[in-house]
Amino acid sequence: MKILFDLLPVILFFGAYKFAGANEPAAFELASHWLGDGIAPTQAPILLATAVAIAATFGQIAWVWLRHRKVDTMLWVSLGIIVVFGGATLLFHNPTFIKWKPTALYWLFGGVLGVSALAFRRNLIRKMLEAQVQLPDPVWTRLNTAWTIFFIAMGFLNLYVAYSFSEATWVNFKLFGGMGLMLAFVLGQGFYLSKYIEEETT
């Protein structure tokens, strides 16, 4: 359930985009009413989907706060990025900003992992996971490096899809491609770590 909750803004973005694209006249009327003149009918789906994603992220923050009286830093970071890039998309009626949002998030995560390791000798992946699994120091280093490279590569891949393919293809990739690659990376990492976990339990 938690993974669905974490993915809620992305899922709702995808759903809103597809629904608005299938009902373009109504979507255009709604977007024009709320976002002002100067919007082309073909822009309405991405603009409405962006508004839905922003609202969903605010909703996530509110729900977590009401239940736990505490919000994870990652959620605050996600909110800040979607507000900045999504807000610019709505303000300027330009989908380029929202297409850069995943890249900004990926590069931020990759940058934090990399800079923390190189400049401050802090392995953040180890800090997050060492309570659940014990690994040799070199493995923790390789794990942190792998996540750093993965996030940076995902940022470039997002831009490649955004600028090389249609908007609809990018929206599909944002949900299915991005999450699929993340799942594949996590599974591959699990296989790599399994031998160390087995050694620890024997």
Residues 98-118 pLDDT 10s: 999 999 999 999 999 999 999
93: left (phi over 0), alpha (psi -120 to 50) or beta: left
Q: How far apart are CA 89 and CA 98, in angstroms?
A: 6
Backbone φ and ψ of 71, nearest 5°: -125, 130
In this structure, which amino acid lies at residue 7? L
Give pLDDT tens digits for 33-45: 999 888 999 999 9
Cβ-proximal residues to 149 (8 Å cutoff; 6+ apart), any chain? 110
* Buried residues in 114-139 as b, exposed as e (16+ CB within 10 A): bebbeeeeebbbbeeeeeeeebeeeb
> Which pTM was predicted?
0.90
The reported pLDDT for the residue numbered 7 is 87
> Widest CA span of the chain, in angstroms?
67
Written as six digits, the tokens of 58 are: 């605010």
Question: How many Å apart are CA 143 and CA 10, to the nearest integer?
Answer: 26
Task: Give the separation between CA 178 and CA 102, rounded to whole angstroms.
Answer: 9
Residues of the chain with pLDDT under 50: none
Structure tokens given for 165: 């393919």
pLDDT score, position 2: 67
Whether the CB-CB separation of 16 and 9 falls below 8 Å is answered with no
The total of other beta-carbon atoms located within 10 Å of residue 186's CB is 10
> How many angstroms separate the CA atoms of 72 and 64, rounded?
9
